[in-house]
């Protein structure tokens, strides 16, 4: 195997002032934050697809990076070289999890039986590599959007045979996830949506997606999968409209079809902004419904309307994210860097710079979020803001001991209602700035 990372040292924490490009500035795995070491707050994962498969091809041009790792792409030797590279990469960075799609691991064959045989072979190889390390799978998934057969969706396809292929892929991907110790299993509805309502029966398609998910839960539990299933909401791309538009929509869907006990959300920062929300909004909606499971840590570009999958760099966003995560008591999943280097960042060193940036940004976000919580002024303000519901008529409303008639009566006696107190937004924003930069 070619040793792609021969010149790269193990990446260590050196502090914010270091000028060493191959060092962490903020991610200090053993540092205690609110009673837990950083590495426990931040279960980072490497995404097989972006890191080991994507080499820069976009709609207008071909690969810029060399991800052959010394072997011929499209062969099992290459698949194994990717495993070797993955483990060398994760070990140098101290990353303990990886995420994969079935077809990230091996070249897909014409015949699904042959693809599955290749998956057995590669997962045996991955298991061997895992031995003696603490590296595990965070989550697995099936790619049900690249193969042309899925042009009209997988669970939402109009073609029953295609639905069966999707079922076969989910079954195999679940087998692999369990075999590799996965904490979760993801459904990202890549083509589960529509281009036009003129040819689409939305109700029928959604019912079929739910049927596929129910079968996945039944099968997963029958082979001993104890983790969470996740929906990863995204409003569009590749389809014009995708059914899992955002967290609120996905949670409603899960409840409607009785899937909410087995599923949680995997929230991706870039998908949140595509849906017209902030990352923080999607995390809050998931958390308040008890469904914040895992995070795809990346960021988009608000000037571009697509999923740019950049490594997170925005410390303000990372801080707001970690505030939600800390308040929710942590994740059952982890932080998967569903992120890729920019096309001109094409060398092996760049793969490291991307992850160092991402890990440092999330670590800084964690430190700042912990400071905001310990500072307490923001939480205290929010508590006070609703204080009128703690006693008197407010308390009665909360406990459901009143009626529209009683409240109308109360209001009529009041004369003019008391004006709500100031929202103090600018003051609160100043607190955030002083914690971030003070």
Judged by beta carbon distances under 5 to 8 A according to partner kind, the member of ligand XLS, Ni ion, none in contact with residue 141 is: ligand XLS
Q: Would residue 271 show up in a list of annotated catalytic residues for this protein?
A: no
For the record, the structure tokens of 214 come out as 């129910």
Interface with ligand XLS, residue 232, by CB under 6 A: yes
Q: In angstroms, give the least distance from the CB of 27 to ligand XLS.
A: 22
Residue given tokens 């073609």 in the structure block: 159
CB 186 within 8 A of CB 169: no
Q: Which does 244 bind (CB under 5 to 8 A by kind): Ni ion, ligand XLS, none?
A: none
For 210-319, list the strands marked E by DSSP: 228-231, 241-242, 263-268, 292-296
Question: Does 141 contact ligand XLS by CB under 6 A?
Answer: yes
- Binding of ligand XLS by 296 (CB under 6 A): yes
Name residues whose C-beta falls within 8 Å of residue 134's C-beta, 6 or more positions apart in sequence: 96
Q: Does 310 bind ligand XLS (CB under 6 A)?
A: no
Work out how close the CB of 330 gets to ligand XLS at its nearest, in angstroms, rounded to a whole number: 21
Is beta strand 36-37 parallel, antiparallel or unpaired with respect to 32-33? Answer: antiparallel
Q: From the candidates 28, 84, 102, 104, which is the catalytic residue? A: 104
Query: Token pair 């999968």 is at which residue?
Result: 225
Q: What are phi and psi of 343, to 5 degrees?
A: -55, -40
Q: What gap in Å lies between CA 425 and CA 21, rounded to an integer?
A: 38
User: 246 catalytic, yes or no?
Assistant: no
Nearer to Ni ion, 123 or 299 (CB): 299
Beta bridge partner(s), residue 137: 98
How far apart are CB 230 and ligand XLS at their closest, in Å? 9
Query: With binding defined as CB under 6 A, does residue 246 bind ligand XLS?
Result: no
Residues that bind Ni ion (CB under 5 A): 268, 296, 307, 338
298 within 8 A of 337, measured Cβ to Cβ = yes
Spell out, one character per residue from 317 to 346, where the chain touches ligand XLS: x when CB under 6 A holds, - when not. ---------------------x--------
Q: How far is the CB of 187 from ligand XLS (least distance, A)?
A: 8
How far, in Å, CA of 171 to CA of 220, rounded? 8
- 3-state DSSP assignment of residue 316: helix
**Binding status of residue 234 toward ligand XLS by CB under 6 A:** yes
Regarding 102 and contact with ligand XLS (CB under 6 A), the answer is no
Binding residue count for ligand XLS, defined by CB under 6 A: 10
Torsion of CA 69, 71, 77, 81, to 10 degrees: -10
Give whichever of 101 and 281 is closer to ligand XLS, judged by the CB atom.
101
Q: Which residues are catalytic?
A: 101, 104
Q: Which residues bind ligand XLS (CB under 6 A)?
A: 101, 141, 186, 188, 232, 234, 268, 296, 307, 338
């Amino acid at each position: 195997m070619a040793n792609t990372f021969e010149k790269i040292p193990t990446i260590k924490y050196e502090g914010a002032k270091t000028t060493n490009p191959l060092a962490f500035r903020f991610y200090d795995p053993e540092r205690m934050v609110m009673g837990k070491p950083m590495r426990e707050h931040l279960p980072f994962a490497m995404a097989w697809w972006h890191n080991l498969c994507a080499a820069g091809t976009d709609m207008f041009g071909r690969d810029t990076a060399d991800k052959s790792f010394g072997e011929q792409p499209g062969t099992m030797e290459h698949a194994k070289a990717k495993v070797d590279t993955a483990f060398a990469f994760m070990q140098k960075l101290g990353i303990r999890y990886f995420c994969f799609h079935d077809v990230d691991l091996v070249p897909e064959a014409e015949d699904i039986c042959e693809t599955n045989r290749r998956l057995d072979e590669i997962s045996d190889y991955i298991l061997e590599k895992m031995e003696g390390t603490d590296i595990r799978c965070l989550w697995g998934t099936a790619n049900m959007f690249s193969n042309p057969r899925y042009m009209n969706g997988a669970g939402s396809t109009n073609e029953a045979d295609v639905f069966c292929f999707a079922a076969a892929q989910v079954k195999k991907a679940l087998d692999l996830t369990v075999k590799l110790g996965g904490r979760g299993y993801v459904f990202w509805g890549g083509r589960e949506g529509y281009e036009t309502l003129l040819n689409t029966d939305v109700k029928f398609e959604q019912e079929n997606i739910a049927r596929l998910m129910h079968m996945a839960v039944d099968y997963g539990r029958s082979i001993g999968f104890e983790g969470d299933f996740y929906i990863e909401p995204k409003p569009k791309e590749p389809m014009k409209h995708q059914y899992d538009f955002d967290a609120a929509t996905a949670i409603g869907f899960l409840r409607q079809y009785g899937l909410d006990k087995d599923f949680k959300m995997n929230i991706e920062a870039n998908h949140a902004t595509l849906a017209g929300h902030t990352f923080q909004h999607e995390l809050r909606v998931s958390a308040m419904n008890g469904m914040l499971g895992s995070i795809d840590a990346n960021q988009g570009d608000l000037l571009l309307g697509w999923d740019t999958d950049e490594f997170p760099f925005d410390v303000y966003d990372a801080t707001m994210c970690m505030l939600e995560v800390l308040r929710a008591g942590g994740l059952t999943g982890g932080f998967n860097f569903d992120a890729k280097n920019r096309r001109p960042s094409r060398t092996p060193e760049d793969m490291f710079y991307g992850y160092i940036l991402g890990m440092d940004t999330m670590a800084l976000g964690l430190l700042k979020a912990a400071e905001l919580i310990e500072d307490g002024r923001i939480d205290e303000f929010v508590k006070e803001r609703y204080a009128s519901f703690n006693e008197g008529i407010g308390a009665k409303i909360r406990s459901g001991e009143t009626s529209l008639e009683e409240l109308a009566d109360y209001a009529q006696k009041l004369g003019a209602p008391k004006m709500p107190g100031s929202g103090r937004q600018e003051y609160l924003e100043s607190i955030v700035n002083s914690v971030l930069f003070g």
